[in-house]
A = this chain, B = another copy of it.
Amino acid sequence: MQNKGILYVLSAPSGCGKGTILSEVLKNFKNIHYSVSATTRSPRDGELNGINYYFITREEFESEISNGGMFEYAEFCGNYYGTPKAKVMEKLDAGIDVILEIETIGAMKVKQAYPDAVLIFILPPNVEALKQRLIGRGTEALDVIERRVGEAASEIEKSYNYDYVLVNDNLIDAIEGLETIMKSCKYMTKFNSNTIKGVLN
């Protein structure tokens, strides 16, 4: 009998290269489902329903909340964002791994609701390097950058509650690191009760 899928939760302060690392790693993993979040905000140019987000109405979102259909959710700037639960559970039950890319508060809620979730936090080499990277992008004013760096520091404090931390001081190493972590989880006893049963039979 097959083992259940593994639920991975990935978080990082913005500017830590999470998106790049994850998209490279996903190329090398079969049998993994990237969970698309739901939101009540309007699609931006080029955003597609079911790819970037599930764009749903406020009424639909609130009905999901009251039915226990959201793994976690939060409201930012008047819009809801959340992780629909049904598809995640369906994939896990079918032995397919699932990855959620969500922020720290949502990650803690997922861990609480599903203790077997594997939480991975990507760290910048240091807070100062993160600041320099954001300045280098040249897309934001210095006061915005400073606020974001302050927020990043308080998010990094929350990494103590994650199962793994991965420093992105070199993209190749960070990609390999995330792959190593995800591959190693396949050997965790808690995901292999059916393997052990199979050996004994």
Contacts and interface: CB of A to CB of B under 8 A. Distances in A.
A164 B189 contact: yes
A170 interface: no
Residues of A contacting B: mostly: helix
Interface residues of A, number: 36
Contact of A163 (B165, B189, B193, B196): B189
Interface stretch (A81-89, A103-111, A136-144, A177-185): A177-185
Interface in A181-200: 181, 183-185, 187-189, 192-193, 195-196, 198-200
A59 interface: no
Interface of A: 120-121, 123-127, 153, 156-157, 159-167, 177, 180-181, 183-185, 187-189, 192-193, 195-196, 198-201
Given A123-B195, A123-B199, A180-B180, 13 more contacts: A120-B187, A126-B198, A126-B199, A126-B200, A156-B199, A156-B200, A157-B200, A159-B189, A160-B193, A161-B189, A163-B188, A165-B195, A183-B184
